[in-house]
């Protein structure tokens, strides 16, 4: 007989069902006396693409910082594969909006992308191959020998994305990674991310202000609101895959999902 999910917990250190990659359980976070995250709970399954939306200042970045182990929660749990996250997990890559602070200005583009692979056991040729491939994916093959300060803002953000892709993480946490990009590059990188998810089976938690982007990318959209913040609703996005910038965005179901999310945020 099959055990229940809760019974399939494998060791005393495990706190979540093994089916969840990420588990957020009654998470609270305060800065000093100010509570930012109230009582947040949701799960992310392996290989799932989950987008988080909510008004400015609601606590989205704070949530990602707790999940990446950069700051401790004030209460509740953030779990990866059932284990409490208490520092940046090896299997995770982070892409934040502020690319100016994520790239090393004294390293070339190639060396910036190579950076997270340096401590790995991968043969040198494989590391270089991954760097070349990732830079080609984001359309920056020509910029390998340049320094970040010689590139536009959008190009620097593409380097940051190439670095995350080259690392081939199991989980990517992304905080408005495309906010500073022009519309065409943004569409290209959204599609690249969907391909990476399909090819590598990466689990992605993606924060965005752009409701259309959230609906286009996600399997589920988590709508945050109120202060301290809580989950207002989790919207299932059952649009067909593979998605296409023109066809998917013209579907009546796309419009109703967008209206649903927007209504939740505006109320
Ligand atoms: N280190 C900090 N110390 C004190 N308060 C902070 C700190 N970081 C964030 N805050 C406050 O916590 C609240 C949530 O901030 P956070 O950056 O998580 O929101 P957000 O939803 O990501 O906002 P945005 O969409 O504008 O990026 C804000 O009121 C912010 O001023």
Nearest residue (CA) to ligand 1, atom 28: 57
Q: Which of 168, 188, 215 is the last residue of a domain?
A: 168
ipTM of the complex: 0.97
Whether 234 and 148 map to the same domain: the answer is no
Whether 83 and 205 map to the same domain: the answer is yes
Distance of alpha carbon 228 from alpha carbon 249, whole angstroms = 33
Distance of alpha carbon 240 from alpha carbon 250, whole angstroms = 12
Task: Give 246 Cα–ligand 1 centroid separation in angstroms.
Answer: 34
In a domain, 226, yes or no: yes
Whether 113 and 66 map to the same domain: the answer is no
Distance of alpha carbon 158 from alpha carbon 152, whole angstroms = 10
Decide: 58 in ligand 1 pocket, CB within 6 A. Answer: yes
Whether 60 and 180 map to the same domain: the answer is yes
Distance of alpha carbon 74 from alpha carbon 78, whole angstroms = 11
Whether 242 and 161 map to the same domain: the answer is no
What residues pair up with 236 in beta bridges, in sequence order?
220
Helices 153-167 + 124-137 axis angle, to 10? 140
Task: Give 74 Cα–ligand 1 centroid separation in angstroms.
Answer: 15
Task: Give 58 Cα–ligand 1 centroid separation in angstroms.
Answer: 7
* Ligand 1 atom with the shortest distance to the CA of 31: 4
Q: Which of 128, 146, 168 is the last residue of a domain?
A: 168
In a domain, 183, yes or no: yes
In a domain, 50, yes or no: yes
Number of separate domains in the chain? 2
pTM recorded for the entire structure: 0.90
The pLDDT value given to residue 115: 93
Which residues in the chain come in under a pLDDT of 70?
A: 1-18
In a domain, 97, yes or no: no
Whether 164 and 180 map to the same domain: the answer is no
250, 209, 69, 193 alpha-carbon torsion, rounded to 10°: 30
The Cβ of residue 242 has, within 10 Å, a number of other Cβ atoms equal to: 10
Whether 207 and 182 map to the same domain: the answer is yes
Ligand 1 pocket: which of 27, 28, 31 to mutate (most atoms within 8 A of CB)? 31
Domain that holds residue 158: 103-168
In a domain, 98, yes or no: no
Decide: 61 in ligand 1 pocket, CB within 6 A. Answer: yes
In a domain, 46, yes or no: yes
In a domain, 80, yes or no: yes
Whether 176 and 146 map to the same domain: the answer is no
Q: Which of 174, 165, 159 is nearest to 95 (CA)?
A: 174
The pLDDT value given to residue 255: 98
Whether 132 and 260 map to the same domain: the answer is no
The pLDDT value given to residue 18: 53
Task: For residue 65, give the 3-state DSSP assignment.
Answer: helix
Whether 161 and 205 map to the same domain: the answer is no
Q: Which of 210, 187, 192, 212 is nearest to 202 (CA)?
A: 192
In a domain, 3, yes or no: no
Whether 207 and 147 map to the same domain: the answer is no
Q: Which of 168, 198, 225 is the last residue of a domain?
A: 168
Task: Give 36 Cα–ligand 1 centroid separation in angstroms.
Answer: 8
Whether 145 and 252 map to the same domain: the answer is no
The pLDDT value given to residue 119: 81
Q: Return the CATH number at 37.
A: 3.40.50.300
């Amino acid at each position: 007989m099959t055990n229940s999910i809760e019974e399939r917990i494998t060791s005393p250190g495990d706190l979540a069902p093994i089916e969840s990659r990420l588990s957020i359980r009654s998470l609270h976070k305060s800065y000093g006396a100010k509570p930012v995250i109230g009582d947040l709970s949701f799960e992310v399954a392996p290989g799932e693409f989950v987008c988080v939306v909510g008004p400015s200042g609601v606590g989205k970045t704070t949530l990602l910082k707790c999940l990446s182990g950069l700051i401790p929660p004030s209460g509740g749990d953030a779990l990866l594969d059932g284990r409490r996250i208490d520092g940046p997990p090896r299997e995770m890559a982070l892409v934040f909006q502020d690319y100016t602070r994520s790239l090393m200005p004294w390293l070339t583009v190639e060396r910036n992308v190579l950076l997270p692979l340096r401590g790995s056991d991968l043969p040198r040729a494989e590391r270089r191959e991954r760097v070349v491939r990732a830079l080609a994916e984001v359309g920056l093959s020509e910029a390998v020998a340049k320094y970040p300060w010689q590139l536009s803002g959008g190009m620097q953000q593409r380097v940051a994305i190439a670095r995350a892709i080259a690392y081939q993480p199991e989980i990517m946490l992304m905080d408005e990674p495309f906010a500073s990009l022009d519309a065409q590059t943004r569409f290209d990188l959204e599609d690249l991310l969907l391909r990476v998810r399909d090819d590598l089976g990466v689990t992605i938690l993606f924060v965005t202000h752009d409701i259309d982007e959230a609906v286009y990318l996600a399997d589920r959209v988590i709508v945050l609101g109120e202060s301290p913040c809580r989950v207002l609703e989790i919207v299932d996005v059952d649009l067909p895959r593979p998605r296409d910038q023109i066809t998917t965005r013209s579907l009546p179901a796309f419009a109703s999902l967008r209206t649903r999310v927007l209504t939740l945020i505006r109320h």
